[in-house]
Each structure stands twice: as C-alpha cells, then as structure tokens.
Amino acid sequence: MKPPRETTRLPRHSGRTDREGVYRDHGRLSYTVIGVYVFLILLSILIIPHTSSTLWALLLVVLLFVFFLARYLSTTYSMNDTFLKAGRIAGGRRIRLDSVSRIEFGSMRELGATGFIGSWGWRGRMWSPFIGSFDAVYTDPVKGLVVSGDGVPLYISPNDLDEFARELSRRVRSYTGRLPVDVGDPLGPSGES
C-alpha cells in the first residue's frame, strides 16, 4: 500500500539542498550581458589587425573578455550550517550566519554604488552613500539582497531571490532569533509584531 500523497511530497527547496544540507543557487544571468561579452570577443578578433606585432595585444584583449565572461557565469551562492558564501572565479566572500544582522532587498541603483571597476575586483568592494563600503558579488544589478554581518554588507543576486531570502532567514534565525530587518522572515520583521 502506498503512503498518502502529502507524506511523499518534498519541500520546495529540496532540489537546491544537497545531502550535507548545503543550499546552493547560481547568480541570475542576463542574456544581454552574455551577448555583450560574446560580441566584444568577436569584435576584438575581427577588428584588431592580425599582424605579428599586434597578435599579443589581440590575445590579451580576448583573454580578458573570456575571463570576465567566465567569472560572470561562475557566480554561485551557498549556505551551510555556519556560513553564507558568495563565490566566483578569482574572488568571493563569506559571512558567518551567527553575525548576520539584516537581510533586505536592494539594487545597485538604490544603493547609489560608486566604484564600477570595484565590482570586477576580488570581492567587488564598492562604496555607497547610504551604507558606506560594501562587497558586491552579483550578476544582476537590479534585483538582489543586501546581507549585513561580519564587517561590510554584501550585495548578492541569487537566481531565486525570494526562496534564497527565506532559506537564509531560516538559517540565521536558528542562531540569532528574529531580525529587525528580514525580508525572508515569514512573520515579517521582528519590530512589526
């Protein structure tokens, strides 16, 4: 006899949580950004003359664009019982879950971020007139999460923003209780109840 259907249904996030309990998500990718990188690679190959004196420059430019495209595509986020990790080729950041004090939606435009080249750096250190210095390991500048804890805040853009916020909130609440600003808390911020 089969068990009732309700007992065999898995939680919605089960596909993102592995056997060790690590929740994983990729950055939200933009076909426009990928297309721009591919266009720049092809343009570099077609426009720069292929003489022996400029071949090294062509190779350097193409490799630089390929590196930044690979870095963009490799952006991932994971949470285990202790850390939130944001990573990509040649860089990343981690925050201890017990240090998280705020989880809020945000965008680079709302943050008023300066330091465009900074977003290409190791951790993506940038500056905002609203929150000061922060790290940005993101693929989408329009929809993301700002997580405050362990030093400067971190801006990330997971693929499933709402689900990621709920899972992060659940794991953080197991350490700290409810947070004053927490977009993933099903009951809302602790100040509202």
pLDDT at 90: 85
Predicted confidence (pLDDT) per residue in 72-128, tens digit: 999 999 999 999 999 999 888 999 999 999 999 999 888 887 765 666 655 678 888
pLDDT at 119: 63
Predicted confidence (pLDDT) per residue in 4-59, tens digit: 444 443 344 445 888 888 999 999 999 999 999 999 999 888 877 667 777 777 88
pLDDT at 113: 74
> For the chain, which domains are there?
23-27+75-182 (2.30.29)
Q: Considering the entire predicted model, what is its pTM? A: 0.82
Reduce the DSSP state of residue 104 to 3 states and report it: strand
pLDDT at 67: 93
Average pLDDT over residues 155-166: 94
pLDDT at 47: 77
Question: Of the candidates 85, 91, 192, 89, which has an alpha carbon nearest to the alpha carbon of residue 149?
Answer: 85
pLDDT at 5: 47
CA distance 87 to 15: 20
- Identify each DSSP E strand in 66-143 by its residue range: 76-79, 83-88, 91-96, 102-106, 125-128, 132-137
pLDDT at 14: 42
